[in-house]
Amino acid sequence: MKGIVYRGLEELVIENHGMAAWEALLDKHAPKNRVYISAQSYPDEELFAMANEVASILNKPLVDVLRVFGEYLFGYLIKKHSRILEQFDGFQSLILGIDSVIHAEVAKLYNEPNLPQISCEQIDDKHILLNYCSVRKLCFCAEGLIYGAGAHYGMKTQIDHQQCMHDGYEQCRMLLTYEGQ
Ligand code: MNH
Ligand code: ZN
């Protein structure tokens, strides 16, 4: 996973639990003197280990932690890549452009990123069917990112995770229902 994702986690942890909590996570789950640089890649295991630890400390299910992290990460990513957002006029066009615009741009800016495959089908003006596929199976993080995008555009968003890679399906299928401006 790229350093920018770890930097987002770092900001979230420090904001809510302080620098000492982040230092403790690093001490326990990253090699000595680890510094996350946004454009560099680091083993996924470090992210998973830290997410698991946060879940156990907060006594919350891992999926909830990943969802909350994803929601925060959306704000962090658009803060760092504000130009990418200019191409969208709202929630709907952003979601439809995750793969073809956002991650296509990421693939140009970052060396060998590990991106999920996301495809969308517009059902009507309130519904999009989104398919997610990735060896990292971070679909709950994807849910959080979608909620983060909804919050950014002031939309009421709902996600029905109809089928999931964690239940053995080849890809996750999520029905997004949204309402707002
Ligand atoms: Mn995007 C990784 C989904 C918006 C840049 N993105 C991921 C991952 C998911 C994901 C899930 C984790 C990797 C995986 O599952 O295999 N991303 C989304 C969704 C939205 C989204 C559902 C919107 C909603 N992503 C954005 C935006 C940016 C961005 C906005 C900023 C430009 N995403 C990234 C980067 C990575 C990533 C960078 C990390 C890639 C890597 O680690 O190599
Ligand atoms: Zn899933």
Residue pLDDT, tens place only, 71-104: 999 999 999 999 999 999 999 999 999 999 999 9
Q: For residue 82, what pLDDT is reported?
A: 95
Which residue is closest in CA terms to ligand 1's atom 31?
A: 77
**What pLDDT digit, counting tens, does each position of 33-53 carry?**
999 999 999 999 999 999 999
**Residue list, CB under 5 A from ion ligand 2:** 139, 164, 172
Atom of ligand 1 nearest to the CA of 137: 15
Does one domain contain both 165 and 95?
yes
Q: For residue 166, what pLDDT is reported?
A: 98
pLDDT at 58 over 80: yes
CATH code: domain of residue 136 = 3.90.1520.10
Domain total of the chain: 2
Does one domain contain both 133 and 174?
yes
Nearest to 169 by CA among 145, 128, 139: 139
33: burial class by Cβ within 10 Å (0-12, 13-18, 19+)?
exposed
Whether the ipTM is more than 0.90: the answer is yes
Q: For residue 97, what pLDDT is reported?
A: 98
Q: What is the mean pLDDT of residues 123-146?
A: 98
Model pTM score: 0.98
Residue 65, domain member (yes or no): no
Mean of per-residue pLDDT scores for the chain: 97
Ligand 1 binding pocket mutation candidate from 87, 98, 120 (most atoms within 8 A of CB): 98
Does one domain contain both 46 and 95?
no
Note down the domain range covering 30. Answer: 3-60
177 in ligand 1 pocket by Cβ < 6 Å? no
Does one domain contain both 49 and 119?
no
Does one domain contain both 169 and 106?
yes
162 CA distance to ligand 2 centroid (A)? 8
Residue 73, domain member (yes or no): no
Which residue is closest in CA terms to ligand 1's atom 35?
A: 106
Helical axes 19-29 vs 44-58, angle rounded to 10°: 130
133 CA distance to ligand 2 centroid (A)? 8
